[in-house]
Chain A
């Protein structure tokens, strides 16, 4: 799905080419969205938004990067938009009191039963996902893309429009942060 012919067909609005694009990338994009948003319904909605944007903006694809990288970049931007919408809702929500914020936001609340995790790891993975959710945005994106999607550092750098060393540093800091969060969780729950 990376050939110039296929891309030209997409630009001409061919339904066949778009179907092929969906067959090739929908699973990857959905899984990336699901792992980042940690919610099936949100992932489905965002996946639809991503492919709508792909369809309407394909004319702007210049071929400077791989088509998959360009699609991942749209996916990451849509997920970022979703995080921001969600945090705005939280900030203005009446249900969260100021008193609650400091303590409650640091607590890990495992909630995701990821269907792709092997049974014996389900419980621990759920704790890890809760910790990932609390990471700063760019650390969460870089760590999830590398660890959960297996995207190489070089491609993550292109997707996030940053340098390779920044990606390395983001993933290193994400691991450190996760270790701290897990240590706290262990002290409070597992000991």
Chain B
């Protein structure tokens, strides 16, 4: 025998029977229909050459920075070596 609880559960599970589709707003529909022109406008306003130019500039900027960091490190190392060799030659002279 179906209990009150079973009955409640079954009716709840079937409560979406006869579900009607929700109407789309006209505003959304026109937004959707505008998709092709929006994408085309974007493609037209930003030429491919400009995109490549921007990408090349970023790549150049990164390369220059990497090069600069490497040069700074190298110079520091050289300076340290010079200081050490000066110091040791000074001690050697004293002896």
Q: Do A and B bind each other?
A: yes
Q: How large is the interface on A (under 10, 10 to 19, 20 to 34, 35 or more residues)?
A: 35 or more
Check if B32 sits within 8 Å of A22, measured CB to CB: yes
Q: Are B9 and A179 in contact (CB-based, < 8 A)?
A: yes
A183 to B13, CA, bound (A): 11
Q: Which of A25-33, A80-88, A90-98, A165-173 lies at the interface? A: A25-33
Bound CA span A22–B8, Å: 40
The verdict on A178 contacting chain B, using a C-beta distance below 8 Å, is: yes
B28, A47: Cβ atoms closer than 8 Å = yes
A51 is an interface residue with CB less than 8 A from chain B: yes
* Structural contact, A124 and B12, CB atoms closer than 8 A: yes
Query: Nearest CB to that of B17 among chain A residues?
Result: A121
**A1-53 at interface with B (beta carbon < 8 Å):** 13, 15, 18-19, 22, 26-28, 30-31, 34, 44, 47-48, 51-52
Q: For the complex, count residues of B whose C-beta is within 8 A of A.
A: 27
Taking a contact as CB atoms under 8 Å apart, the answer to whether A31 and B21 are in contact is yes
Mostly, the B contact residues are helix
**Which of B9, B11, B35, B37 sits near A51, CB closer than 8 Å?**
B35
> Given A117-B16, A124-B12, does the pair A56, B39 have CB atoms closer than 8 Å?
yes
Once A22-B32, A44-B28, A55-B39 are accepted as A-B contacts, the answer to whether A124 and B22 lie under 8 Å apart by CB is no
Question: In angstroms, how far is the closest chain A Cβ from the Cβ of B92?
Answer: 62
* Interchain residue pairs with CB less than 8 A apart (6): A27-B21, A44-B28, A47-B28, A48-B35, A55-B36, A128-B12
* Residues of chain A whose beta carbon lies under 8 Å from any beta carbon of chain B: 13, 15, 18-19, 22, 26-28, 30-31, 34, 44, 47-48, 51-52, 55-56, 114-118, 121, 124-125, 127-128, 147-148, 175, 178-179, 182-183, 186-187, 190-191
Q: Which 6 A-B pairs have the closest CB atoms?
A: A124-B15, A116-B20, A125-B15, A121-B15, A124-B12, A182-B9
